[in-house]
Amino acid sequence: MNTPTTTESFLARLKTPPPPQEMERLTTLLSIEATVWAQGFARIAGVDEAGRGPLAGPLVAAAVVLTAPVPGLNDSKRLTASQRETLCSQIMADGHDVGIAIKSAETIDRYGIQQANMSAMLEAVAALRTPPDYVLVDGYALTGLEQPALRVVKGDARSLSIAAASIVAKETRDRMLFQLDMQYPAYGFARHKGYGTREHLDALGTHGPCPEHRRSFAPLAQAEETQQPLL
């Protein structure tokens, strides 16, 4: 019989113990995992997405099973771009199990953002090398999984596993938007990542949408329905 994982045994996997304050922060971010471990589950996947709200570009979902703590992990929105890039590289390179799924703007328009989001999350879990025992999902009651799952409100700030998934999803999507910026330089995708900033709306008014824009999202949907200019 396998020895149950505990917060203490998981933190003991750190190659170099961080300062006490960081160790305390990691312990707090493992409180939800600790509750699941106590129920006998071992492989816990955190799941999150990036790109629900933008007017352009894909939606990216990630699932991560951490094999050890990663100092510095936090909600991706609280990190700088440089910190996210470094942490994402660590997560991808240090033996953690990572699954990623991507839904294009065309797919989002065809099936709707909610269905695309749920489908991407399920596919991210399925893309893990080894199926998890339990799934922690940021913000959504995800159905269709073979494993038990828990919806965690603001999970990227409360669970280390979800924080890892948050970073992988956002960093993966940001890199894709940098590529789209080179392909469609008139829109400024590298700066606003497809969100509806003034710069982006002005570019849409000048150039119209490109193939990476979501036609089902406002203001593009209203413009196409009414045949009116965007601005």
| Domains by residue range for the chain, with CATH | 7-184 (3.30.420.10)
For position 77, what pLDDT does the model report? 86
> Could you tell me which of 31, 55, 93 has the C-alpha nearest to residue 202?
55
**Token pair in block for residue 101:** 């799924």
Contact of 68 with 14, CB cutoff 8 Å:
yes
Rounded mean pLDDT, 39-50 = 97
Cα–Cα distance between 70 and 118 in angstroms, integer? 27
Distance of CA 152 to the CA centre of its chain: 14
Contact of 135 with 147, CB cutoff 8 Å:
yes
Query: Is the per-residue pLDDT at 100 higher than 80?
Result: yes
What's the pLDDT band for 226 if we cut at 50, 70, 90?
very low
* pLDDT one-digit tens code per residue, 151-194: 999 999 999 999 999 999 999 999 999 999 999 999 999 999 99
Query: Is the per-residue pLDDT at 228 higher than 90?
Result: no
Share of the chain above pLDDT 90, in %: 89
**Token pair in block for residue 3:** 């020895």
For position 220, what pLDDT does the model report? 87
* pLDDT one-digit tens code per residue, 207-217: 999 999 999 99
**Token pair in block for residue 214:** 């979501």
> Could you tell me which of 47, 30, 46, 29 has the C-alpha nearest to residue 38?
30
**Token pair in block for residue 168:** 């992988």
Three-state SS for 42?
A: coil
Query: Is the per-residue pLDDT at 94 higher than 90?
Result: no
